[in-house]
Structure 1
Amino acid sequence: MPEVMFAGPDGRLEGRYHHSEEADAPLALVLHPHPHHGGTMNNRITYSMYRSFEKMGFSVMRYNSRGVGRSQGRYDGGIGEISDAAAALDWMQSINPNSSELWIAGYSFGAFIGMQLLMRRPEISGWISVAPPANDYDFGFLAPCPCGGLMIAGGKDDMAPEPGIRKLVEKLNTQKNVDVDYRVFENANHIFANEADLVSEALEEHVSACRAERPLALTMD
């Protein structure tokens, strides 16, 4: 998983990128938790999701948002971090111009950033949100949500309580053509200390099922 440095809107950003051996492989971008809470691209859940996409034959990247690790710039309250994520997608798409599929996956604060990006990039075909902070951030921008995805909550999560996430899922599922695959790991707290393998299994199962349903994906412009 070679280290990459790419241009972001507030300086260079540090990432780890795996390029699939499959021609025109699907793409995935994985987003880490809040930097003020120690979130980096090396977070265990972030890394587990990265490896799951790699295992499924994706070209996949995880990266440090501005001010984290060797990435330049400073934390910008979420606004600049959305621009960082867009720059990461631009970089991946520039070296994979013929890829026909794009997924976004985020954990905690990264889930919020990922869903914001989903609304800005219509070429995204699927999403994974682990422990989205539904009580701390307004997810009302998901109206309408462009597609369904996988949402995971921990039953013992005090930072992103399951009832708030369930309410978000129920709201999304009322929208036309949106079906959220919602999974609750009852014994998991916010760090999913013993559930990384379960997160990986859920991701692989969901992505594989979605890809089987739409084998003739449209080529991204």
Structure 2
Amino acid sequence: MPEVIFPGPEGRLEGRYHPQKAKDAPIAIILHPHPQFGGTMNNKVVYNLHYAFLNMGFTCLRFNFRGVGRSQGEYDQGVGELSDAAAALDYLQALNPNAKHCWVAGFSFGAWIGMQLLMRRPEIAGFISVAPPANMYDFSFLAPCPSSGLIINGSADKVVPPSDVTGLTEKLQQQKGITITHEVVDGAGHFFDPGMDEMISTVDGYVRRRMTETTR
């Protein structure tokens, strides 16, 4: 098992790390949903995103936020979790100093954390935001949003109303210099069951298209 333990701000963090053979392979971190509602790095959406990026040639890391699984510390309202994500990216970059590109993907609460990480780390070239909880958290910090990315949600999401995700997307799409792509998986709920295959296929197509554009 590719289990890793790495230092975080409040003690050790537990993760799963899959490197590529190519030393300059792009890197991606994947962030899990809310720790207080059963969110872990083994959530199905997170697991599938991890392997989608791996299959596209990325070196991937997913991990448990503080207080989840074997990660030390306790839930910190998103503040500490953002620090955890920054520590995870530091760890991934230290192992892969020659990586060509850096991406972040997050699901639900993890999407909110991922978008904040995007604001802190200019080296992040792209993002995948799955079912971002626009009805629960303030995303106004994305002013301006520094990178282009994909926002994807289900049309039958009962946790995050699709209209809230559309509203967030429309605000971001007004910004210049970036392109925010918005896709809706018809009939999918918050956890994409059904709809997982279509969501992952959409992510795969989007990332491959972006990577092709950057290598031209």
- Both proteins in one fold, TM over 0.5: yes
2:153 maps to amino acid: A
Equivalent-residue separation in structure 1 for 2:30 and 2:142 (angstroms):
19
Equivalent-residue separation in structure 2 for 1:79 and 1:120 (angstroms):
13
Equivalent-residue separation in structure 2 for 1:196 and 1:188 (angstroms):
8
4+ residue runs over 3 A deviation: none
Aligned to 2:57: 57
Aligned to 2:157: 157
Equivalent-residue separation in structure 2 for 1:170 and 1:151 (angstroms):
11
Aligned to 2:46: 46
Q: Report if aligned partners of 1:14, 1:70 keep a CA contact under 8 Å in 2.
A: yes
SS at match of 1:176: coil
Equivalent-residue separation in structure 2 for 1:71 and 1:173 (angstroms):
36
TM-score normalised by L of structure 1 = 0.96
SS at match of 2:187: coil
Q: Report if aligned partners of 1:154, 1:161 keep a CA contact under 8 Å in 2.
A: no
Equivalent-residue separation in structure 2 for 1:96 and 1:178 (angstroms):
26
Equivalent-residue separation in structure 1 for 2:83 and 2:147 (angstroms):
21
Q: How many residues align?
A: 216
Q: Are 1:36 and 2:24 matched, yes or no?
A: no
Aligned to 1:80: 80
Q: Identity of aligned pairs, percent?
A: 55
How far off is 1:197 after superposition?
1.3
SS at match of 1:159: coil
How far off is 1:213 after superposition?
1.0
SS at match of 2:166: helix
* Aligned ranges 1:153-192 → 2 under 5 Å: 153-192=153-192
Equivalent-residue separation in structure 2 for 1:146 and 1:71 (angstroms):
30
How far off is 1:202 after superposition?
1.0
SS at match of 1:119: helix
Aligned to 2:14: 14
How far off is 1:186 after superposition?
2.1
* Aligned ranges 1:100-179 → 2 under 5 Å: 100-179=100-179
| RMSD value, Cα | 0.9
Equivalent-residue separation in structure 2 for 1:32 and 1:176 (angstroms):
29
Equivalent-residue separation in structure 1 for 2:88 and 2:141 (angstroms):
22
Q: Deviations over 1:88-110 (max 9, x none)?
A: 00000001011120000000000
Q: Report if aligned partners of 2:13, 2:71 keep a CA contact under 8 Å in 1.
A: yes
TM-score normalised by L of structure 2 = 0.98
Equivalent-residue separation in structure 1 for 2:87 and 2:102 (angstroms):
14
How far off is 1:6 after superposition?
0.1
Equivalent-residue separation in structure 1 for 2:86 and 2:199 (angstroms):
25
1:122 maps to amino acid: P
Q: Deviations over 1:101-152 (max 9, x none)?
A: 0000000000000000000000000000000000110100000001110001
Q: Report if aligned partners of 2:23, 2:96 keep a CA contact under 8 Å in 1.
A: no
Equivalent-residue separation in structure 2 for 1:23 and 1:195 (angstroms):
34
Equivalent-residue separation in structure 2 for 1:195 and 1:157 (angstroms):
11
1:126 maps to amino acid: G
Q: Unpaired runs of 5+ in structure 1?
A: 217-221
SS at match of 1:214: helix
Q: Report if aligned partners of 1:49, 1:199 keep a CA contact under 8 Å in 2.
A: no
